[in-house]
Structure 1
């Protein structure tokens, strides 16, 4: 009897060892897994949890739905979408998360922020999608021959117009090519207001004024971005006298004109982002300075299913001046992958998500049709699903694009956005604004 019990116990131990071995358990936690498929995804069947910091608040809901769809295709991977707090730069939020020792697996950053995290994130140069990215898409995130950023989207911005409002104003079908100068634009504003509608709304957020509007003065210095870079260097060196700069002063002349036609002229700093798509989509104003990322919100208010497009922001009354007929656009948001805290299994799962976006039909559908993103990959041939994306694609195809300033310092929008807010609210004159711009740049290290 005793011998039989001993044999039974021995057999049980052997059996348990075989079961553990069969499960492949050689790693701790929920992210264990040692068998990888050819595309880097875990095939162990063990649960892997990854996260993505989203800095495009307007697509939070769409991203959450995409995460669910991705998990349906990859049942062992759970993807959490973390929203960056409104009004906080992606760089600030990512820095805070690193300081807390709890960075997400993936972080969506602005282009200029990628290099700051270079030593803490994965080299993505070996990923297949690098070869399928549009021209120069990875140029600004490549350092020492290694690319660290996944180019998520091409974005553009300028004056968004509601065609129905403009058609009524001009007494026919509005042709955007007729607006080539500041005077052309002001005449259009006058025509709109003659119908009883308001011409324009200016959204006073610091990121809109500091990251989008003011940088038109930098990018508009020259068609050659190498010359623009030299201009920025001169600002940093304190050798550029902006008081005599024709492009900056021309842009501010346009801004002064915009202030006169702003629907919120009496309280220009009281507006919030959500007010812009509402009054434009409802046809209460004809024009809003913003980017193609605003389409989902405009669409929510547009019960008439109307037509929309972009107008450039003219800086002068010479139609041939650079910028007067060009739309600002560039690859904007980038996704980086943490290498400090994430496990190899999490890193591989994150890479699989990026490949899913680029190569899987459901991922492409999310980018183009759900999130209204213009993809930065040649293999994605789906046409833009919304009129703003289509308008941006048209300007690019026509060679009428001005490269956006994608590598501005992380605090540019907050500091100079505040300066632009003072100018918008008449709390500071042009000389004060120019002085603050110059002082900001000489403080940049």
Structure 2
């Protein structure tokens, strides 16, 4: 079986290959008037409730919903977004338990499929399935049935401000492994502290900002660099009863490099209060810091703060020291699932909305030009990413310099609630790194029982 890395790399190359096949959005046929001249019956009024995690597209998704409603006037769409600093999985569980169930919601990979199987509508017959890129459905396929639509394809690494690097005389092209990254960060840090960049960047305080409050940043995304070298795919992680954490020292090196050259280098416990907005909107977007561990999804938010800064961003690799040093993780962040507990009309409307959003010309414009997504389907060849971070992910993928996203196969809650919390304790000086790893290993075993 192909490794996830090869699958994702191939998938991304297919995205940007020159093909022209387009898939029309599905729409129900209108009834034909009877011989007596009767008008067709009015379509049933439907309310569609969406519960989604991606805060970065909350406003744009609302706009897409209004555009869909204009074409389908019998459908009313309500959207609730829970993400960023909030635990979407926990919020979804609470939402379901409240008895007010959404018709469309988000799931991760194989672990979420198992957890939510009782609520998942089989989507195998949907038109978009034939357009899915190779490999993107593997994590949501069980016994040959497909239970969700991929949100998009994303990549993350160390997002950096090219203008700051140029002013510091650092050539980012030479950063190809941990040693070259470390040397560049130390040089940048020394020049910031010496005030050499203050004239051009008066807000610049540190090389990095670390959003340790966001345990998905540390416990999911950062850990994925090391664990993707242990597990070839999320399915392998999902099947694992225990975890060796072979490359825990490499993960520690990445975390230490950021923390030691952050705005809270002398008081690392304070990193645990740094959230996404502080890291991105009040961090790299205002040039208070030069580097953040994030992905192509931050472009729209940075652009809303300062378009010039957004257009000066690029992505450095996240090197796993001594193992895989020139790559970034690339994968599917989340999937759209249709709740099988809805009415027939709600399920039909939910499916139609997804087909419209991902396969109609208007929907595809939202996906690429307003959401700034890298699409998971074919048929987007005329809509390549225009933003620099999307282009950076494309560059890494086409070069084959990617790591799989295996965190979708972690035990439910392990990444954020266990490992992410242990990393917070480590930053606060409450546990040694070895103890943090051991605690995470023990919890993995317990959660797999």
TM-score by length of structure 1 reads 0.82
Residues 1:43 and 1:327: Cα distance change in structure 2 (over 3 Å): farther
Residue by residue, what CA displacement relative to the aligned partner does 1:311-370 show, whole Å, maximum 9, x if unpaired? 111122x4xx32x11110111210111111x11111111111011112212211111111
Residues 1:94 and 1:369: Cα distance change in structure 2 (over 3 Å): same
> How does 1:5-20 map onto structure 2 within 5 Å?
none
Is this contact kept in 2: 1:53–1:106, CA < 8 A? yes
Match of 2:273, SS?
coil
Matched, 1:191 2:187: yes
Residue by residue, what CA displacement relative to the aligned partner does 1:78-131 show, whole Å, maximum 9, x if unpaired? 111112265443332232222222211100222241332222221000011111
**Matched residue pairs, number?**
392
Match of 1:393 in 2: 394
Work out which of the residue numbers 297, 304, 324 in structure 2 matches 1:293: 297
**Larger RCO, structures 1/2 (Cα 8 Å, 6+ apart):** 2
Is this contact kept in 2: 1:121–1:336, CA < 8 A? yes
> How does 1:299-338 map onto structure 2 within 5 Å?
299-305=303-309, 306-316=311-321, 318=322, 321-322=323-324, 324-338=325-339
Residue by residue, what CA displacement relative to the aligned partner does 1:391-436 show, whole Å, maximum 9, x if unpaired? 1111111111111112222302122111111112222111211111
Alpha-carbon distance between aligned partners in 1 of 2:86 and 2:258, rounded to the nearest angstrom: 27
Alpha-carbon distance between aligned partners in 2 of 1:156 and 1:335, rounded to the nearest angstrom: 19
Is this contact kept in 2: 1:202–1:289, CA < 8 A? yes
Alpha-carbon distance between aligned partners in 1 of 2:429 and 2:385, rounded to the nearest angstrom: 39
Match of 2:37 in 1: none
Alpha-carbon distance between aligned partners in 2 of 1:390 and 1:181, rounded to the nearest angstrom: 21
Q: Give the C-alpha shift of residue 388 in structure 1.
A: 1.1
Q: Give the C-alpha shift of residue 43 in structure 1.
A: 7.6
Residues 1:375 and 1:87: Cα distance change in structure 2 (over 3 Å): same
Work out which of the residue numbers 104, 112, 130 in structure 2 matches 1:106: 104
Alpha-carbon distance between aligned partners in 2 of 1:435 and 1:261, rounded to the nearest angstrom: 26
Match of 2:412 in 1: 410
Residue by residue, what CA displacement relative to the aligned partner does 1:236-273 show, whole Å, maximum 9, x if unpaired? 347x3x4xx3x221221232222210122222222121
Alpha-carbon distance between aligned partners in 1 of 2:386 and 2:288, rounded to the nearest angstrom: 24
Query: Which structure 1 residue ranges, 5 or more long, are not aligned?
Result: 1-35
Larger Rg: 1
Alpha-carbon distance between aligned partners in 2 of 1:105 and 1:260, rounded to the nearest angstrom: 45
Alpha-carbon distance between aligned partners in 2 of 1:279 and 1:106, rounded to the nearest angstrom: 33
Cα RMSD (Å) of the superposition?
2.3
4+ long deviations beyond 6 Å: none
> How does 1:419-434 map onto structure 2 within 5 Å?
419-434=422-437
Query: Which structure 2 residue ranges, 5 or more long, are not aligned?
Result: 1-26, 32-39, 193-203
Match of 2:256 in 1: 256
Match of 2:102, SS?
coil
Alpha-carbon distance between aligned partners in 1 of 2:254 and 2:86, rounded to the nearest angstrom: 28
Work out which of the residue numbers 12, 37, 60 in structure 1 matches 2:28: 37
Alpha-carbon distance between aligned partners in 2 of 1:39 and 1:414, rounded to the nearest angstrom: 50
